[in-house]
Amino acid sequence: MRILYSIITIICLKSVSITSTDDFIPFYSWKSIRIKAEFHQTDLNDEEKKILEHVWSLAIQRTSEALKVPRVPRRLLLPRSNLSCERAWIIGLNKNRCASVKKLPFNQLEKCLDDFNIPSEHLEGLYEWPYQNSSISKTIIKDGDGIKDYDYILYIQSIVTERCQKDKRHLLAYAKYCKRDHWGRPIAGYVNICPNFFTSDSFSIGKAKMIALHELFHALGFTKDLFHDYQSCDLQGKCTKHVNPVKDIYYAKRLVTPKVVEMTREHFNCTKKSVLNDFGPMLQKDSNGDITSHWDSSLMYSSIMTSTVGDERVTILDKITLAAFEDSGWYGVNYDTADTFLWGKNLGCNFSLPINRCKYNDEYPKFFCKSNDIIGCHYLQRDRGVCQSDDYLGCNKLRCDRDLLNGRCFIANITIKSNFMIREKPSGRCYDISCMKNGTLQVKLGNEWINCPYSETLKLQDWEGILICPSITSQVCRDIHKQMTSYAMTTTHSFTQDDIGGPIEISIIFSGITVQQLNLNSLLEMTPNVIAIKLSRELNIKEERLTKRLLTDSNLSNSIIFKFILLPKIRDGITANEAYNILDNLIKGGKLIVKIGSFTLKGESISKRKAPTDNSIKIDSLASTAAIIGVAIACILVAAIIAFMVFVIQRRYVIMHIITRPRRLARLNNQNRREGGETSV
């Protein structure tokens, strides 16, 4: 019998990867991903640490708004490396479970980048299982406590490493996934922000935010190592990997998964039948000609997933990048969280062909340039640009040279006429602008506001030179041209297309106090109203537009989050998006200060998203309205019935009175005769 059991054991053992067999969760049950940031070793000072924590909290918040996953029940527990298990059962009751464990120090096996040791409390236990018994035969290590109420754990460091030292000039950060679940979805990741970034000339809070988001996307699965594991799953949870997700086609290697191709075609308006199924974005190549984990800059310049990340003003979270996450099969995507992406918009299939891109400088002057001495405008026209070569592009582009907070960049050489005038070439110049309610763009020249019709070149009396107005597809006044369906809010106000952008949910982080301190000083109840009054005065709007006010603690030390929904304008005033931009500039300038008792609160950062639809409120509101109408109708019916009954009773009385009148008169006459009197009628 022992010999037979030994033979079965040998047959049933094989070196395999261990996977789980949990049930598939339907897509409609997926919810916003919950990401826990865990900060480890840093070579930063206290102020830089605060910045690090701050930008990561914002990156995680935005990612949670964009991506959905099947929620991890109870706690997230990371699987151990296959290196721990020497052999696993391939059939039987304990299929895929470990039969024998390697005799190694297990803490040396659970590492990620930079020899980072994954905490043992986050890891599953290590056990040996028998072939035909459901009980564990040997416990090597017990399960850790795991991470409760999270779907992903991100380990963050900021230390000087060999990678940071090797490329100090260009490398700012790097990231990688560490662990995956049984469906293949990354559930743990590691990122290192090189400390030299915080002291570099290119540092800004806005750029740090975008770098954090970029690296988080890598750790979540946007990486060349996982492109070939991207999959499509049906409603029953049956998943099939995409066939050849990366193709060498149309002179470049492209990611050609279904949703990515659809979004790319839609963005560039590529309708050629010959490329319909393969027109995906190009992937950047390294010096050896191998693909990297980034989009190619010539097709996707300013996208969050190109290799060069800029400030938040000119770096875009685009729908094509989000489509890659949907095509992974691991994430549901909220495309409403994407920014407006205008690089190459509607320029057709040829725009992305590498053999054409340098030839088309004259056709696409807004996107490419020729001479390094040109000073023009960045293609979004938010910044002045200088023409520089791109290491990954092969052509020149206008890169940001000067940021504009309140104006826009125009190609111009316009000056007031004088006797001592020297004509200059048209170049990038900064002007204040005003976006009118009807969509008209105005530019301020001197002390005068001038209409600037889209795509026209201005030549004005008393002025020498020209000013080129932007095209209708540019970012200037882009909110004016967004189509918006009229709708009624669940409050007493109603709004139409005149209010561009609709209601938005705004979150502001204030430093200087915590919710607990407010509560101890009996200030908690009044603080949201005090902040709302301050904001309404800064914006010159009615306080009532700031609704659903909420105060919570921030992840940053000694700070709070003030969250509210800003309603659209009704008639006069500024739109919700215009109000957001004003608050953003106040915070960037360090000018948003609120006094609460003896405390001083300073606005540190601001973020926004489309105001969520509260269906329950709508339903309750409709139900309440229906109930009120029902009661009113019932009251009217009751009143009508009563009136009718009164009418009937009165009419019956009159009729009876008429019918019985002769009889009553006769009776009275007889009585009078007996009494000797008479009756008057």
Residues annotated as part of the active site: 215
Burial-class residue 334 by CB neighbours within 10 Å (0-12, 13-18, 19+): middle
State how far the Cα of 506 lies from the Cα of 605, in Å rounded to an integer.
11
Scored b (16 or more CB within 10 A) or e, 210-232 reads bbbbbbbbbbbbbbbebbebbbb
With contact defined as beta carbons under 8 Å apart, do 521 and 531 qualify? no
Tell me whether strands 375-377 and 283-285 are parallel, antiparallel or unpaired. Answer: unpaired
φ/ψ of 421, rounded to 5, equals -95, 135
C-alpha to C-alpha distance for 448 and 12, rounded to whole angstroms: 86
**Residue 581, SS3?**
helix
267 annotated to a ligand binding site:
no
State the Cα–Cα distance between residues 178 and 627, nearest whole angstrom: 56
Give the span between the Cα atoms of 667 and 658, in whole angstroms: 15
Length of the chain counted residue by residue: 681
- Retrieve residue 406's tokens: 């309140």
170 marked among binding-site residues? no
In sequence order, the 6+-apart residues with CB closer than 8 A to the CB of 104 are 83, 84
The residue behind tokens 């839609």 is 266
Residue 629 neighbours by CB distance under 10 Å: 10
HSE-up of 668 (CA within 13 Å, CB side)?
Answer: 10
Alpha carbons 64 and 29: distance in angstroms, whole number: 15
- The answer to whether residues 305 and 358 touch, using CB atoms and an 8 Å cutoff, is no
Count CA atoms within 13 Å of residue 45 on its CB side.
5
Around Cβ 400, how many Cβ atoms within 10 Å? 20
The upper half-sphere exposure of residue 472, i.e. CA atoms within 13 Å in the direction of its Cβ, equals 6
The answer to whether the beta carbons of residues 89 and 95 sit under 8 Å apart is yes
The distance of Cα 201 from the centroid of its chain, to the nearest Å, equals: 28
Sheet holding 504-511, edge to edge: 546-553, 559-566, 504-511, 599-610, 593-596
Q: DSSP labels for 168-227?
A: TTT--EEEEEEEE-TTS-EEEEEEEE-GGGGGSTT--HHHHHHHHHHHHHHHHT-STTTG
54 assigned ligand-binding residue? no
- The annotated binding site for Zn(2+) is made up of 214, 218, 294
